[in-house]
Amino acid sequence: MDWLRASAVQQGRAIMAGLLDPIDQTEAYLEAARSHPDGKRIYARLTFSRARSEAIAAHDRAKAELRHGILDGVAISWKDNIDSGGTVTEAGSKLLEARVPRKDATVLARAARGGLVCLGKTQMSELAFSGLGLNPMTATPPNALDPALAPGGSSSGAAVSVALGLAAAAIGSDTGGSIRVPAAWNGLVGFKPTHDSVPEKGVVPLCRKFDVVGPIARNVEDCAELLAVMTGEKPVDLNDSGVGGLRLMVLDGLPFEDAGEGPVTAFQDAVDRLARAGAKVTHVATEWLDKAMDLSPQLFASEAYGIWRAQIEDAPELMWSPILERFRGGSGVSAPDYVAAWEQLIRIRRKWIKEVASVHDAVLLPTVPILPPDATRLMEDDDYYVHANLLTLRNTRIANLLGLPAVSLPTGYPGCGIMLMGHAGRDRHLLRVAAGAEAVLDAH
């Protein structure tokens, strides 16, 4: 078996059974990442000393039968906006070049206490403000399905590290789709928890009111176990998860506007399979949801620019122009307009709960309405970049705006994911629904 491409839980069980040594597995990952021709485009830096020290400790616990949990000794990667004590953490930006935090982010500290091995920090979009994953200021990872295509972002290196067998799983962050987009475009599972359900301390912010940390992995079980480590809660029981009798609602309208044929075909086929497996599929169109989407420029860019304005304007030449202009797009939003936008969004969230949330287990839509575009064209055509970036993040951003947990699952069609949106605060239920759906889609 190729253990480098095994799921995180599979590796954890193998360590428990004595079939896999954390030291050997960590060394294998480090060597695979170091020697990969695109290794430096995927990892911003490998943490050799830390990884080896943590692997030795995990090896000793396994021998003494004192493992901390199923993932003890499993080696994963971390997005480079998550602080790691004593290790450069730059969030993909020259503005933060050589920045060294004093201690780990809370989520990384919890993972370390749980016995997980930190392989290193992965490349990402500048300050996490792009869904395409391009970053000419540092590095752009290759798409795992086709190196000529955009990898998806902003957790680009995180997803690619897993897809290419350079980490058992990855931890990324999601503000408008930054976990789910690269997961979909690289054939993985990406889970965005409910906002504020995972500690954000020690995570370089983009928009604090939307930022959330979450896992990218090979399956739902891995995501559930990683989420439990980060939240400090008991993992959700995924046994007996199925789709029979589940109420799944397809969100018509906006998610399909300007959508490509490939993602739509993949989505429709996935929904048909879920229905044949016993799910009760209905459809809903919510025209008022467009009003929430129209609030995006007032909410995202204004907060992001408010957080980063001083650093940006002190050295704007250190930023790639499309990202710089996206930040500056928030400069014209007044405080009253920002507050009014939030008040309107809160009313829309309440409307969603009243009219939609009570009648479904999950809402379904294509994760991304387009296939990963050509990276070279994105770099050469500014208008194409802007259009593609906005379209890429459109569907995933719905969950962020509504404050919902969401998960992207592979459909079996390359580069195409199906997204399931759940109920705010009911992440565990959504993971059970996703596990049932995954079993159906994997059978394909």
CA distance 58 to 63: 9
**How far are the Cα atoms of 152, 279, 283, 358, 360 from residue 247, in angstroms, in the given order?**
30, 6, 11, 10, 5
Give bridge partners of residue 203 from the DSSP assignment.
82
SS3 state at 248: strand
Alpha helix positions (H), 21-89: 22-35, 39-42, 48-63
Q: Which amino acid belongs to residue 225?
A: E
- The letter for the amino acid at 65 is E
Token digits for 146?
Answer: 């086709």
DSSP state for residue 374 in the 8-state scheme? B
Q: What's the token pair of residue 349? A: 């969230």
DSSP state of 419: E
Under 8 Å between Cβ of 211 and 179: no
> Catalytic site residue 234?
no
CB distance 303 to 366 below 8 Å: no
420 sits in which H/E element: strand 417-421
Structural tokens at position 63: 């021998």
Out of 79, 161, 173, 296, the active site residue is 79
Q: Which residue has the tokens 């193998």?
A: 14
The residue type at 330: G
Report the distance separating Cα 74 and Cα 86, nearest Å. Answer: 21
DSSP string, 256-313: GTT--HHHHHHHHHHHHHHHHTT-EEEEE--TTHHHHHHTHIIIIIHHHHHHHHHHHH
- Nearest CA to 217 out of 25, 76, 34 is that of 76
Q: Single out the catalytic residue among 84, 125, 130, 154.
A: 154
Q: Both tokens of residue 383? A: 């208008």
Q: Record the tokens describing residue 272, joined without a space.
A: 């048909």
Would residue 53 show up in a list of annotated catalytic residues for this protein? Answer: no
Contacts for 41 with CB less than 8 Å, ≥ 6 apart: 123, 139, 140, 141, 142, 157
- The active-site residue, picked from 7, 178, 296, 408, is 178
CB atoms near residue 103 (< 10 Å) = 13
Residue 405 near residue 181 (C-beta atoms within 8 A): no
Ramachandran category for residue 46: left, alpha or beta (phi over 0 → left; psi -120 to 50 → alpha): beta
Is residue 79 part of the annotated active site? The answer reads yes
CA 109/CA 229 separation, integer angstroms: 10
**What residues act catalytically?**
79, 154, 178
